[in-house]
Amino acid sequence: MTASTRNGVTRLRRQGEGLDRALPYLLLAPALLLVLAVVVYPLYDGFRTSTQFWRFGRALEDVGLDNYRQAWNDPQFRSSLWVTLRFVFFSVACETVLGLGLALLCARELRFIRWARTALIVPMVITPVVVGIVFRLLYASDTGLLSTVSQSLGGGQVQVLSDPSRAFVGLVALDVWEWTPLMFLILLAGIQSLPVEPFEAARVDGAGAWRTFLDHTLPMLRPVLIVAIVLRTIDAFTTFDQVYVLTHGGPGTSTELISIYGFDTFFKFQQFGYAAAMLLMVALVVMAVSFLAARLIRRQATA
Amino acid sequence: MRSVLHRLAIVLAVVWSLVPIGWMIATSLKSNREITQDGTLLPATATFENYRSLFTYRAFGSYLTNSLVVTVLSVGVSLVVGTLGAYAIARFRLVWGVERRVAVFLLLARILPPVVIVVPAFLIVEQAGLLDTWWSLVLLYSAFNVSFVVWMMESFFREIPVDLEEAAMVDGDSRLTAFRRIVLPLAAPGLVASAIFAVIVTYNEFLFALVLTTTPRAQTMPVGAATLIGRIDIDWGAMSAAGVIGAAPIVLFALLVQRHLVRGLTLGAVK
């Protein structure tokens, strides 16, 4: 903050009398109360729920941290955690590589990219539930696009969602389809804001495209790249809608993300206490990742 | 030559983005006989039967109304509440640095993944007798958006010089008048970007709508579209039409605000 604005602030404050002095608090109060009532109180209530044993929609007894211990020893919890980690890793890795490649290609095709951009944005605005429907329609073994094309070329049906490992790949493909555009847009903005001089110098020195990329583009783009990767990682960790529609975790538990397992425990099996404990742990992990990332980003920015 | 390659890559990316959606639209225009037996790529004879059935045999009219009401109300509330809060944070130094503390607190609320409160939210709403109403969704979505709006608008307000308001106040405007006449118009781009992002996120929200609503009285579009997803016996025609109808409002909205969209989306994601 500059000195002049700080002076401005104090000068404005001195003018305040009576109602005027209360004004900032009145402006602040609604936002604060809304979040306290609708986010913080439920959070507290959720923690209380997580320390109770629930059956048939009723809290039967206080069990302390037993629900958390139970999750630790629950093979299905561990398996869904593992599926989630793999899903996040593969999705974000593909999105980063594809988004970066596309952004590098497009950086100099400004006029051309303008109309293409609209088309690229559609996957990320479209309702996630509908993205699930879109991919159901692609993967359906009898009537899907993949099978239809394969059959018209003389091949057989393509089975995606009935096979555990292929269903997992199919889910990653869905996420890549939906979110590569976001990576692309963020990185494109990043590339376009880079200074021009280093690149001109490199060209004068006769450096090849690959060397220029490694020596100049990548290091300068690193802060933006980290922000984009962190954002996608945090978001992908709680992916729910698309999986709910596409596979609901199946076949077996091959695509059962932690959000799906938590949801089923809550909504299908009505084990409110256990579900609350699991989801709280997921939130803790996500917040921890956010904090570490924020520190990393800040260090990058000051370095 | 290189330029041709560049363009080819972009065209491929566009095709890759649009073909899956095109397939959904094509399927929605086919009769179920054509879908299951003929295996055509494009509909041989286009029919709107699938769409008609959504509005006559299913409650897609209600889903649409519910989605619009809930989205407009909650985005409206969060914009008003959030903008006022952001202004206070950006312009005032309060006792004990209250404004700074509130800002950090709201940021924490923003980082928190909403899924964590889905169980208590259900229990509280059930106890309050508000299951299957607009109000529970409006309240939740307003609160989810408010932390984001505050965070976004605060940075916009900070960029507006204080001198402008002071001048207006010296000329006799009250603070709120100065805010409305001077600051708000200057912060309009931020307001637009926040609104766009909030509308998209709110319209698309599924988990809380799924848990807190049970009938077409309050179910929103994503929930309505998901009711057509069978496990065994699937009506492909109706499901694809539901997908098209479900996504249509938000895609139309995106195309309408296209000029501000990229800014809204990238800022919204990064903030």
Would residue A121 count as lying in a domain? yes
Contact A129 B211 (CB under 8 A): no
Mutate to test the interface with B, among A2, A35, A106, A114 (most CBs of B within 10 A): A35
Between CA B81 and CA B91 the distance in angstroms is 16
Closest CB to A24 among B94, B105, B211: B94
| Range with lowest mean pLDDT among A4-8, A188-192, B16-20, B65-69 | A4-8
Domain assignment of residue A248, yes or no:
yes
Q: Is residue A33 part of a domain?
A: no
Task: Give A-chain residues touching B261 at CB under 8 angstroms.
Answer: 121, 125
Please list every residue in chain B whose beta carbon sits closer than 8 Å to the beta carbon of residue A248: 231
Task: Suggest the residue from A21, A48, A130, A210 to mutate for an interface test with chain B (most B CBs closer than 10 A).
Answer: A130
pLDDT at position A102 is 86
Q: Is residue A42 part of a domain?
A: no
Tell me the per-residue pLDDT of B139-172, one tens digit each, with 9 for 90 and over.
999 999 999 999 889 989 998 888 888 888 888 8
Question: How far B10 CA lies from chain A's nearest CA (Å)?
Answer: 7
Q: Using the beta-carbon criterion (under 8 Å), do A126 and B239 form an inter-chain contact?
A: no
| CB–CB contact A12 B243 (8 Å) | no
- Structurally, how many domains does chain A consist of? 1
Query: Which amino acid, residue A178?
Result: E
Answer whether residue A149 is part of any domain. yes
- Is the ipTM higher than 0.90? The answer is yes
Question: What is the residue-averaged pLDDT of chain A?
Answer: 87
- State the pLDDT at residue A2: 41
Please say whether the beta carbons of A120 and A181 come within 8 A.
yes
How close does chain B come to A255, measured CA to CA in Å?
16
CB contact under 8 A, A241 and B222: yes
Lowest mean pLDDT across A64-73, B90-99, B243-252 = B90-99
Indicate the CATH number for domain B59-270.
1.10.3720.10
Q: How does pLDDT run across A260-284, given as a tens digit for each residue? A: 999 999 999 899 999 999 999 999 9
Asked if B204's CB is within 8 angstroms of A127's CB, the reply is yes
Q: What is the pLDDT of residue A3?
A: 43
Phi (first) and psi of residue B250, to 5 degrees = -75, -35
pLDDT on residue B250 = 95
Tell whether the torsion through CA atoms of A167, A187, A230 and B222 is positive or negative.
negative
How is residue B216 annotated by DSSP?
T
Q: DSSP characters for chain A?
A: --HHHHHHHHHHHHH--THHHHHHHHHHHHHHHHHIIIIIHHHHHHHHHHTEEEETTEEEEE-TTHHHHHHHH-HHHHHHHHHHHHHHHHHHHHHHHHHHHHHHHHTT-HHHHHHHHHHHHHHHHS-HHHHHHHHHHHH-TTTSHHHHHHHHTT--PPP-TTSHHHHHHHHHHHHHHHHHHHHHHHHHHHHHTS-SHHHHHHHHTT--HHHHIIIIIHHHHHHHHHHHHHHHHHHHHT--HHHHHHTTT-STTTT--HHHHHHIIIIIS--HHHHHHHHHHHHHHHHHHHHHHHHHHHHHHH-
Q: Which two tokens stand for residue A193?
A: 């804001």
Neighbours of A81 (CB within 10 A): 19
Angle at B18 between CA B14 and CA B22, to 5 degrees: 155
Contacts of B93 in chain A (CB under 8 A): 9-10, 13
pLDDT digits (tens, 9 = 90+) for A110-135: 666 777 878 888 899 999 999 999 99
Residue ranges of the domains in chain B? 1-47, 59-270
Among the listed residues B87, B121, B207, B159, the one whose alpha carbon sits nearest the alpha carbon of residue A132: B207
Longest dimension (CA), chain A: 83
Q: Could you list the residue range(s) of the whole structural domain that residue A213 is in?
A: 80-302
Report the CATH number that the domain containing residue A173 is assigned in CATH.
1.10.3720.10
Q: Does B245 touch chain A (CB under 8 A)?
A: no
Q: Which of A284, A281, A245, A246 is nearest to A262 (CA)?
A: A281
Tens digit of each residue's pLDDT (9 = 90 or more) over A24-77: 899 999 999 999 999 999 999 999 999 999 887 788 888 989 999 999 899 999
**Burial grade of A226 (CB within 10 A; 0-12, 13-18, 19 or more):** middle
Q: Which residues contact B18 (CB under 8 A, 6 or more apart)?
A: A119, A122
- A56 φ/ψ sector (left φ>0, alpha ψ -120 to 50, else beta): left
Backbone angles phi, psi at A67, to 5 degrees: -60, -35
**CB distance from B9 to chain A under 8 Å?**
yes
Euclidean distance between the first and final Cα of chain B, in Å? 39
Which residue in this structure is represented by tokens 């709201």? B106
B219: β partners: none
Q: How far apart are CA B85 and CA B57, in angstroms?
A: 45
The answer, yes or no, to whether residue A246 has pLDDT greater than 90, is: yes
Per-residue model confidence as pLDDT tens digits over A178-199: 999 889 888 988 888 888 888 8
Token digits of residue B83: 């903008």
Across A229-256, average pLDDT: 92
| Closest in B117, B144, B162 to A43, CB measured | B117
* Residue contact A177–B17, C-beta within 8 A: yes
State which residue of chain B sits closest to A49, comparing Cα positions: B120
Question: CB neighbours of A101 closer than 8 A, spacing ≥ 6?
Answer: B9
Q: Are B187 and B205 in contact (CB under 8 A)?
A: no
Radius of gyration of chain B (CA): 23
Q: Per-residue pLDDT for A165 more than 90?
A: yes
What is the predicted pLDDT for the residue at A52?
Answer: 92
Residue labelled with tokens 């409006």: B138
Residue whose tokens read 């900070």? B158
Least confident of A112-126, A216-230, B112-126: A112-126
Contact A246, A136 (CB under 8 A): yes
The whole-number pLDDT of residue A217 equals 86
What are the φ/ψ torsions at residue A224 (nearest 5 degrees)? Answer: -65, -40
pLDDT at A302: 65
Mean pLDDT of A242-259: 93
Count of C-beta atoms within a 10 Å radius of residue A181 = 24
**CB contacts, 8 Å: B141 with chain A:** none
CB contact under 8 A, B92 and A145: no
CB-CB under 8 Å, B17 with A181 = yes
In a domain, A67, yes or no: no
CA distance A35 to B169: 32
